Amino acid sequence: MRILSGVQSSGRLHIGNYYGAMRQFVQLQDQGEAYYFIANYHALNTVREPKLAQELTREAALTYLSLGLDPKKAVLFRQSDVKEVAELYWILGTVVPQSNLERATSYKDKVAQGISPDFGLFAYPVLMAADILLYSADAVPVGKDQIQHIEFARDWAVKFNTQYVPGYDPADPEGKERGHSPGLLKLPAAHIQESAATVPGIDGRKMSKSYGNTLELFGEEKDLKKRIMSIKTDSTPVEAPKPTTDAPLYDLLKLMLPASEFAEVDATWRAGGKGYGDYKKKLLEAFHTTFGPARQRRSELLADPGELERFLQDATLFTRAYTPVAQTEPAWRSLLTARW
């Protein structure tokens, strides 16, 4: 099984990225051939200051390593280091219906927030599909907000194969039956962790860099505390049962506490006797317990910049050697070169 996924280097990573995606990255590196990247081309949609872009790319690499990505098990690379992705992006784009892009939720969300769209934002899902299809990925671990993108990637792969591969039958995409051919582009599947498909932010909406409602993985202690203390709650008094479990504080505790400890929280939440302030303190403690080791690892890496530098240099050099694209000419290139 080939696993592939990425995170954008468009800001500091947060616990939504971790529980929705990166926690699975680390688990899956033991279960298959894993490729993880830093989507630094995608990040250009929002971060255009070169120094900051570079810094955030490096920070994303550091985050991967601190969370337990093991470079001996998984290939870590920058999206821009494998330039074929930009080529496939274009070729694939020629069969992408504009109407699909117009109904992409990420695009519609940004436009609704008043962001005036550039071509890069509009075409974002095409580059993401190219990311996935380029590596013939089987499974793509992501949060729920990315499902539509992966469905697009599947749809466009089918369209592309139908257009270009004689004998391709969408009902038999692997070409198992006689007379059928397999596609040039393989259909990927989203891999979702249901319990953390959408991690709420401190205001109750989806946790997202663009909403400013995140709990950063490696933020400053003071800021973290302030943010946790400002998680949106109602004004139910301490002694009273809480009116609903449909609350970001409840969901975050459920994510971060071990099951037995969460059972206690759940009981008092329903029966009363504890206030939201108590639960917030508990969440802060759980945050430290959960991410303490990663923080420690991060400071060790930061304390030895030579070591980190060497690692990143190697990662860049080895990307071309290790990623499957580089080993053989991608089959879809034959479209362009075969008949000269």
Q: How far is the CB of 80 from ligand TYM (least distance, A)?
A: 12
Give the end-to-end CA distance of the chain in Å, rounded to a whole number: 36
Q: How far is the CB of 20 from ligand TYM (least distance, A)?
A: 2
Q: How far is the CB of 3 from ligand TYM (least distance, A)?
A: 10
Task: Identify whether the C-beta of residue 23 lies closer than 8 Å to the C-beta of residue 159.
Answer: no
Q: How far is the CB of 27 from ligand TYM (least distance, A)?
A: 14
Q: Is 206 considered catalytic here? A: yes
Select 193 or 236, whichever has its Cβ closest to ligand TYM. Answer: 193
**H-type alpha helices, the chain:** 15-17, 23-28, 40-43, 50-66, 84-93, 98-102, 105-112, 119-122, 124-134, 147-164, 221-229, 248-256, 259-271, 276-303, 305-322, 324-327, 334-337
Q: What is the rounded distance in angstroms from the CA atom of residue 68 to the CA atom of residue 318? A: 19
Q: Catalytic: which of 51, 176, 186, 209? A: 209
Q: Is 280 considered catalytic here? A: no
Q: Does 39 bind ligand TYM (CB under 6 A)?
A: yes
Among 65, 69, 74, 207, binds ligand TYM (CB under 6 A): 207
Among 21, 85, 224, 283, binds ligand TYM (CB under 6 A): 21
Q: Catalytic: which of 72, 83, 108, 110? A: 110
Query: What CA–CA distances, in Å, run from 260 to 32, 225, 257?
Result: 31, 24, 8
Q: Is 108 considered catalytic here? A: no
Q: Does 142 bind ligand TYM (CB under 6 A)?
A: yes
Phi-psi region of 272 (alpha: psi -120 to 50; beta: other; left: phi over 0): left
- Residues in contact with ligand TYM by the rule CB under 6 A: 5-8, 16-17, 20-21, 39, 42, 128, 131-132, 140, 142-143, 145-146, 196, 198-199, 206-208
Active site residues: 110, 206, 209
